[in-house]
Amino acid sequence: MSAGRIEACFAALAREGRAAFAPYVMAGDPDTDTAWRILKGLPAAGADLIELGLPFSDPMADGPTVQRGAARALAAGMDTRGVLALARRFRAGDPMTPVVLMGYYNPILNFGLDAFAAAAAEAGVDGLIMVDVPPEESDPLADALEARGVALIRLATPTTDEARLAIVARRSGGFVYFVSVTGVTGVKEADAAAIADQVTRARDATGLPVAVGFGIRTAARAAEVARIADAVVVGSALVEEIAQSVALKRDPAPKVLDTVAAMAQAVRSARVSG
């Protein structure tokens, strides 16, 4: 069961007394082969859970860094089928690490909700984060995913109040993705002290682990967030390294995996040293 991989991951880390480190990479960025080499290297570099971006032409919740990552991936020919193929290839070699896809609704709607859910489950995908589908509009998607055992992971933000959290919790699974800043990915910096209460509230209201993302760019910041959250998501900082390597005509994979290793180490030692 795929939802089981996410639960097992958080249960094991709870026993270790630490937060999960969850890198986000855009599928197909900057090309399929490089993205594959990064993806398959993530668990060894210290990723506990992987968020794999579904590239979209109009990523309105993303800042410039992830926008450009999506544009590179699309230009290199990545599409929804290609993302599922990458996930399937990853799962063939790694039966344990949860993989969550994150993206926008139109390509999924276009694929067909039931067909997508079936293909995602078959590829060993554990959850789906849809940035532009509010709970009020997500029943058809939730029906399709539930039938295939893929978790629908919902977002909460600093503007999400108690009443709204109850709506967010309904039919959601896996974990709650707490957006730590008001705004888009990779622009503002998260403030762990400011969001600690909100993270606790989200955990209490939903009964799910809380992953924090959208504003964590350094190992130090990752460690701070790791003290209050169940998972730390880092995305734009990794996508930016890909952009820089591409600009210098270097292979991005070693640099991205080194950064992942450093951040994973910071997350692992956060609660001990903190």
Partner 1 sequence: MPLVLALEEAYAHAKADEGFQAELAGYLTTYVGRPSPLYFARRLSEHHGAKIWLKREELNHTGSHKINNCMGQILLARRMGKTRIIAETGAGQHGVATATACALFGLPCVVYMGAVDVERQAPNVLRMRLLGAEVRPVESGSATLKDAMNEALRDWVANVSDTYYLIGSAAGPHPYPVMVRDFQTVIGRESRVQILETEGRLPDALVACVGGGSNAIGLFHPFLADEDVRLFGVEAAGEGMATGRHAAALAGGRPGVLHGAHSYLLQDDDGQILEAHSISAGLDYPGIGPEHAWLRDVGRARYLTATDEEALTAFALCARLEGIVPALESAHALAKLAEVAIEVGKDGIVVLGLSGRGDKDLAAVAPRLERMA
> Contacting partner 1 (CB under 8 A), which of 40, 164, 171, 255?
164
104 backbone dihedrals φ, ψ, rounded to 5°: -115, 160
How many residues belong to the site for partner 1 (CB under 8 A)?
Answer: 36
Q: Is 51 considered catalytic here?
A: yes
Spatial contact of 51 and 60, defined as CB atoms under 8 Å apart: no
> Contacting partner 1 (CB under 8 A), which of 65, 80, 172, 198?
80
Spatial contact of 70 and 26, defined as CB atoms under 8 Å apart: yes
The DSSP code sequence of 175-220 is -EEEE-SSSSBTTSPP-HHHHHHHHHHHHHHH-S-EEEESS--SHH
Catalytic residue selected from 7, 29, 48, 51: 51
Window contacting partner 1 (CB under 8 A); options: 61-69, 200-208, 216-224, 248-256: 61-69
| Interaction mask 17-56, partner 1, x per CB under 8 A | ---------------------------------------x
Q: Which CB sits closer to partner 1, 46 or 82?
A: 82
Whole-angstrom Cα distance, residue 183 to residue 176? 17
The answer for residues whose C-beta is within 8 angstroms of residue 16's C-beta and 6 or more apart is none
Residues between 101 and 160 that touch partner 1 (CB under 8 A): 105-111, 132-136, 159-160
Q: Which amino acid is at 4?
A: G
> Contacting partner 1 (CB under 8 A), which of 37, 64, 146, 171?
64
Active site residues: 51, 62
